[in-house]
Chains A and B, each alone.
Chain A
Amino acid sequence: MTTRNVGQPFVRRDGRAKVTGEARYSYEVAVPDAVYGVLVTSGIAKGRIVEIDTSAAEREAGVLAVISHKNALRLPGEPHLEGPDRVVQALQDDRIRYSNQPIAVAVADTFERAVHAAMLVRVNAEVAAHTVRVEDELHNAFPHKIMAGGKLQEPDESHGDVAAGLVAGAARVEEAYETPFETHNPLEPHATVASWSGDRLTVYDASQWVFAVKKKLAKGFGIPPENVRVVTKFVGGAFGCKGSAWSHVVIAALAAKQVARPVKLALSRHQMFGPVGGRPRTRQKVAVAAQRDGKLTAIRHETVSPTSRFDVFVEASALQARHLYASPNIESRHRIVRLDIGTPTFMRAPGESSGSFALESAMDELAHRLEMDPLALRLASYAEKDPADGKPFSSKSLRACYQEGARRFGWEKRPRTPRSQTRSGQFVGMGMATAMYPANFAPAQALARMLPDGSAQVESGTIDLGTGAYTVFAQIAADELGLPFEKVRFDLGDSDMPEAPIAAGSMTAASVGSAVLVASRALRDRLIRTAIVDSASPLHGLAPIEIRAEDGRLVATSGKSDSYVELIRRAGGKPIEERGKTAPGDEREKFSMHGFGAHFAEVLVDPDLGTVHVSRMVGVFATGRILNARTARSQFLGGMVWGIGMALHEHSVFDEKLGRIMTRDLSDYHVAVNADVGSIEPLFLEEEDAHVDPAGVKGAGELGLCGAAAAIANAVFNATGKRIRELPITPDKLL
């Protein structure tokens, strides 16, 4: 394909709408006659509602209804779907399964009245003993298949003899690592606007996947899927929590049906902690051993993470150990325990981010024990083929990432001994870590339409989470159709459009991008055929192979050409469209497909206060084709800053007695703020990967976070000589 548009750093298409305030997020869509729903959530973690008194709330002016399990419409179906979907609590029974579970919804004519009514609801509950501590359930830990990258993977895998490998090494590290509960906290809270017309339902939802919302609601309400339309034009961040329709989405639709008015329902910031997932805590054990020369003799990575009592989510922290380093003996093991919590879910780089903290910390410890440069240790066990199954990588430029990163960062200036360098009274440390994330790809469809004015309209029901989907897919289509970027409009976010997979797992660019490419190519070929059979076309009778698309025209090798405008006019003046779809093929079986990268971090640690400041980060990433360096940079920069948050701040702290998260707002749940950010430089080594997917991309959303927290933790060790194996690295742990 000609690449005049792909690879250009075009400015985000939706930028103007976002800077003017015109972009309407789900809650902001103007729906006439809408009323407001506010959830009542449980204060206890486990039990049964004995009595729920809504009378005071119902007496208030403007209150239309207070709906609890007592008077909620019985859903004809169970809304739960196969695949990465979460079980919901939609006011169907008296059970309380976790703290902050929705137990009622107040509906009123203004938002404030609904809030007030929700506060007047009195609940009398029978409290049961709960468990929210992983330690208390370890004896019941069990393996479960892992849903990752759109397929089910085995919880345990091993090859070789790890026990023998561990003793065969010249040095060995066996340590336990921990990562805490985290909460996604996109800046836009979850929000749903539901509106019925007879048995047809229209929903504006802050969602990463309109098709799953549609199917789930259709299933729950017992109506045909085609009766449900879900629209998501703008999402104010998601990071995984908007990947499945949680309880409030079903409740919004239920309330709208019961009050026979459209209902707008947003979660409060408090309600973001518990009922809409989060990254589960992990307790990991890593054992690695290596010969003097750094060649790994064994890797063992085990992890335990909690899920809820009623649903399964496995934080797949040990998956990357299977594919990352060459070693004759590798073992990985996942266990989960059930707790009385809301179901955790995918959170940006699920598994890879938490797991890389443990594995890459252990590698750093091993390098220290071997008195070896941590980068040299990684190079000594560089995997030329996938250690899990011996498959070749579809592309892998990790070595170049290490080299380029080390050069840019000035890795050779790393203090050899920990706690040996200071700068204006602060300890200076440098650390590095490897980044790896699978190149996921899922079936996707798109439609491309040539309009009589010679511009194209392309669409697919995917979502732009701020990733750049509106922009990059127009770039891909423009190249295939031989149009300038400005002449292609790409639209998304509507379940009436061709079906797209969940906008998650860093697979949107690959999946939807490929579908857009295929649809646009099909449209171009159709236009070429139309010209060839048209006796009035200058291209009449030529062979398709002689014709290419360029500047809004079909051009023959001879120089003869026909414009899209003329072509369509002669063909009757109606738009011409084609659909395209893609799905993973055999290549997926033949190759191992991952994006790779290397992080380098410099930290300053205050010896008196124990505070850590990440002064510098360099990340070099090889993730296939870079469609748009401007939007890709933003993804990686954001990912790396998430690494700072993960390393130093983020922690959903549970009160174990009450069974609830105590850090339930943004002043207690700390995300990285602007003062945390020093110099951060992401850069790319672009790869030509002919196997990974038709668009040649491996994904950008998550790789930047993988390994980032480990690089920072390793830098903290280099600065202070203290190895912190439990995130976040807060001052108390360093003093």
Chain B
Amino acid sequence: MDLVPLTTPSREKLRLAFTVNGEPRDLVVESYKTLLEVLREDLGLTGTKHGCELGECGACAVILDGELVLSCLVAAVECPGRSATTVEGLRQGPELHPLQQCFADHGAAQCGYCTPGMLVAAKWLLDRNPRATRGEIAEALSGQICRCTGYLQIFDAVEAAGRTLRGEPAPAPLLPSVHRGSTNGR
């Protein structure tokens, strides 16, 4: 990696040439930045979320050279030459990735703030284990906190996406039973 010294030696800049979502990127950033900040602030890829910056919430998850990492805990200096996949890189063109489609259809995104991290973690799982069971899904997503949904829609969406990717028919999203008609006072 090339270090470009600034006037004060402790304020070095870093030349960061790496691949993001399949595209080569070459930029100069402050050497103290995290991968999360580089993605969000320097590259404008705000899909990756900042939830705690402590490695606790999973909102910042990205895939780095095939490994699932928390980008808030990855220093930019570790990244030259590597390849990162963020939520923005899940789809090819206008087509949503089956995971994205299933998350939307199953209502797995409520406020949506945990969603990019969930999607990336789920993609990492299905890439390695296309037949992941519900237990394996829960295990793989155990580092991701969701404060809104109650998680079940997320499990359902990942399961359905797994089926779609395997070319199997996926079950329709679960809807609650609504007993209609007046039950007033009864």
Tell me, yes or no, whether A binds B. yes
- Asked whether A630 and B49 contact (CB < 8 A) given A112-B30, A187-B57, A666-B57, the answer is no
Specify which chain B residues have a CB less than 8 angstroms from the CB of A30 in the assembled complex.
44
Specify which chain B residues have a CB less than 8 angstroms from the CB of A12 in the assembled complex.
104, 107, 109
A16 & B104 in contact (Cβ 8 Å cutoff): yes
Among A14, A23, A633: residue with most chain B CB under 10 A: A633
Specify which chain B residues have a CB less than 8 angstroms from the CB of A150 in the assembled complex.
none
B91 & A667 in contact (Cβ 8 Å cutoff): no
Q: Which of B6, B50, B104 contacts A27 (CB 8 A)?
A: B50
Q: For the complex, is B169 an interface residue (Cβ under 8 Å from A)?
A: no
B41 & A633 in contact (Cβ 8 Å cutoff): no
Minimum CB–CB distance for A507 against chain B, Å: 18
* Complex Cα–Cα for A237 and B11 (A): 37
Q: For the complex, is A209 an interface residue (Cβ under 8 Å from B)?
A: no
Q: For the complex, is A416 an interface residue (Cβ under 8 Å from B)?
A: no
B113 & A25 in contact (Cβ 8 Å cutoff): yes
**Chain B 165-184 near chain A by CB (<8 Å), digits 1 or 0:** 00000000111111111111
B185 & A396 in contact (Cβ 8 Å cutoff): yes
- Asked whether A640 and B147 contact (CB < 8 A) given A188-B111, A681-B176, the answer is no
A638 & B148 in contact (Cβ 8 Å cutoff): yes
Q: For the complex, is B4 an interface residue (Cβ under 8 Å from A)?
A: no
**Chain B 109-130 near chain A by CB (<8 Å), digits 1 or 0:** 1111111100100000000000
A112 & B175 in contact (Cβ 8 Å cutoff): no
* Complex Cα–Cα for A684 and B105 (A): 20
A19 & B103 in contact (Cβ 8 Å cutoff): yes
* Complex Cα–Cα for A189 and B51 (A): 6
Specify which chain B residues have a CB less than 8 angstroms from the CB of A20 in the assembled complex.
47, 87-88, 90-91, 96, 100
Specify which chain B residues have a CB less than 8 angstroms from the CB of A185 in the assembled complex.
147
- Asked whether A632 and B47 contact (CB < 8 A) given A187-B114, A677-B152, the answer is no
- Asked whether A674 and B151 contact (CB < 8 A) given A19-B119, A112-B30, A638-B110, the answer is yes
B104 & A634 in contact (Cβ 8 Å cutoff): no
Q: Which of B44, B90, B111, B180 contacts A186 (CB 8 A)?
A: B111
Specify which chain B residues have a CB less than 8 angstroms from the CB of A689 in the assembled complex.
184
A675 & B53 in contact (Cβ 8 Å cutoff): no
Specify which chain A residues have a CB less than 8 angstroms from the CB of B148 in the assembled complex.
187, 237, 466, 634, 638
B150 & A640 in contact (Cβ 8 Å cutoff): yes
Q: For the complex, is A386 an interface residue (Cβ under 8 Å from B)?
A: no
B184 & A396 in contact (Cβ 8 Å cutoff): yes
Stretch touching chain B among A162-170, A293-301, A397-405:
A397-405
Minimum CB–CB distance for B38 against chain A, Å: 11
Minimum CB–CB distance for B56 against chain A, Å: 4
Q: Which of A61, A268, A404, A626 contacts B53 (CB 8 A)?
A: A268
Number of interface residues of B (CB under 8 A): 74
B180 & A686 in contact (Cβ 8 Å cutoff): yes
Chain B residue nearest to A621 (CB atoms) is B176
Specify which chain A residues have a CB less than 8 angstroms from the CB of B180 in the assembled complex.
7, 686
**Chain A 1-12 near chain B by CB (<8 Å), digits 1 or 0:** 000000101011
B52 & A269 in contact (Cβ 8 Å cutoff): yes
Q: Which of A17, A27, A393, A684 contacts B179 (CB 8 A)?
A: A684
- Asked whether A19 and B115 contact (CB < 8 A) given A269-B51, A395-B185, A397-B185, the answer is yes
Chain B contacts with A in 55-97, Cβ cutoff 8 A = 56-57, 59, 86-88, 90-91, 96
Q: For the complex, is B37 an interface residue (Cβ under 8 Å from A)?
A: yes
B149 & A188 in contact (Cβ 8 Å cutoff): no
Q: Which of B48, B51, B144 contacts A21 (CB 8 A)?
A: B48
- Asked whether A673 and B54 contact (CB < 8 A) given A15-B104, A19-B96, the answer is no
Q: For the complex, is A687 an interface residue (Cβ under 8 Å from B)?
A: yes
* Complex Cα–Cα for A268 and B56 (A): 13
B138 & A686 in contact (Cβ 8 Å cutoff): no
B107 & A400 in contact (Cβ 8 Å cutoff): no
Minimum CB–CB distance for B170 against chain A, Å: 15
Chain A residue nearest to B154 (CB atoms) is A674
Minimum CB–CB distance for B144 against chain A, Å: 8
Q: For the complex, is A234 an interface residue (Cβ under 8 Å from B)?
A: yes
Chain B residue nearest to A635 (CB atoms) is B110
Chain A residue nearest to B86 (CB atoms) is A21
* Complex Cα–Cα for A12 and B152 (A): 17
Minimum CB–CB distance for B174 against chain A, Å: 8
Chain B residue nearest to A403 (CB atoms) is B186
Those 7 A-B pairs whose CB atoms lie nearest each other, nearest first: A21-B47, A236-B113, A466-B111, A18-B112, A15-B104, A637-B150, A641-B150
A19-B101, A634-B149, A637-B152 given; name 13 further pairs at CB < 8 Å: A11-B104, A21-B88, A28-B46, A61-B6, A112-B33, A113-B30, A269-B52, A400-B179, A632-B176, A666-B145, A674-B146, A674-B155, A686-B183
